[in-house]
A and B are shown apart, each in its own frame.
Chain A
Amino acid sequence: MTRSLRFAPLAVLLLLVCALLWRVTHPQNPVVRSRIVGQPVPVFALPAAAPSKPGLASADLADGKPHLLNLFASWCVPCVAEAPVLAQLARRGAVIHGIAIRDRPEDVAHFLARHGDPYRHIGSDHDSRVQLALGSSGVPETFVLDGRGRIRFQHIGPIAAGDVPVILAHLKAAQ
């Protein structure tokens, strides 16, 4: 064994310290992305979430036109910030369907009255079944689906005004 090999354990220790320091300064990304982007939306049929709107079924998402599927809730604070941006997307031609997660009809109705209603259909997911089937990890999240009901893109968190061009581009690509 050569003399310089005695420094091998020290080198290993230094490597370990560097690796730990790197991880401390570059923490792991806590965002959980859905793994089924690119696959067809799971089959579901949800009852109406608000008295004024029909419920949502997966068949509604495969009618030949691209859609935005927005997961929201009346108790979700960032969803309030997202509401005007969704209205803007609806004005620019996006067809938006909603799924209200763990929500009561009166609360959903109150939320829509207060913050605007860009949705065509809203399904009520009272036990997060469809949310879990979509690989979603929280609200708000928005999926871009193509005309055949295939998930093309997932946006996690509220849609900011700066994200609108990206979402519209994905919608256009999903034509």
Chain B
Amino acid sequence: MRRRFALIGAARMIFAGCALGAAMPVAADSSVPPAEWANRQLPDRRAEAKAKSLMEEIRCLVCQGQSVADSDSDLAGDMRNLIRTRISAGDSPEKVRAWLVERYGTWISYRPPSAPIGWPLWILPFALLIIGALMLRKRVRWGRRS
């Protein structure tokens, strides 16, 4: 009885393994290994800190929604390589960001520029608060007992 359960357990494991293997996406990915600085930290700690904070604010091109620091894709690795190489060569993070924005638009940076089109977003909460206070002016007795 026990041996039959063990066999069923083993069969289940093998089946699960095959199912997992079959579920993996067909490798439509490069066979070239990751770029030199894709997954290695820069030896200079301050440069690495600057590079890291920039990588967390640059959007991955292929898995949109993830930053380049989080994404596993090859292109994200190449973007990390680019960022690290440029920063260790002396470029400021803002210069690297500007270079990317020049090619892909402001969309690629999680830190959007403060363009006039964004001002309503900032003003709106205060405006709503003021409108709300005005509407409640007559309804609420501020501190006075009638």
> Using a CB–CB distance below 8 Å, which chain A residues touch chain B?
1, 5, 30, 32, 34-36, 73, 75-77, 101-104, 107, 126-129, 131-135, 137-138
Check if B103 is an interface residue, CB within 8 A of chain A: yes
Q: How far is the CB of A67 from chain B (nearest CB, A)?
A: 20
Give the bracket for the number of chain B residues in contact with chain A.
20 to 34
Question: Which of B64, B79, B103 is in CB contact (< 8 Å) with A30?
Answer: B64
Docked-complex contact A34 and B104, CB < 8 angstroms: yes
How many angstroms between the C-alpha atoms of A127 and B64 in the bound complex?
20
Q: List 7 A-B contacts (CB under 8 A).
A: A30-B64, A32-B104, A32-B107, A102-B32, A131-B78, A137-B75, A138-B61
Tell me the residues in window 28-70 of chain B with beta carbons closer than 8 Å to chain A beta carbons.
Answer: 28-32, 35-36, 61-62, 64
A132 with B103: CB separation less than 8 A: yes
Q: Given the complex, which residues of A lie within 8 Å of B135, measured CB to CB? A: 1, 5
Q: Which residues of B contact A (CB under 8 A)?
A: 27-32, 35-36, 61-62, 64, 74-75, 78-79, 81-82, 100, 102-105, 107, 134-135, 138
Interchain CA distance A77-B105 in the complex, whole Å? 27
Determine which of A1, A5, A107, A138 lies in contact with B75 in the assembled complex, contact meaning CB atoms within 8 Å: A138
Q: Which residues does chain A contribute within 8 Å of B75, judged by CB atoms?
A: 128, 131, 137-138
Residue of A nearest to B32 (CB): A102
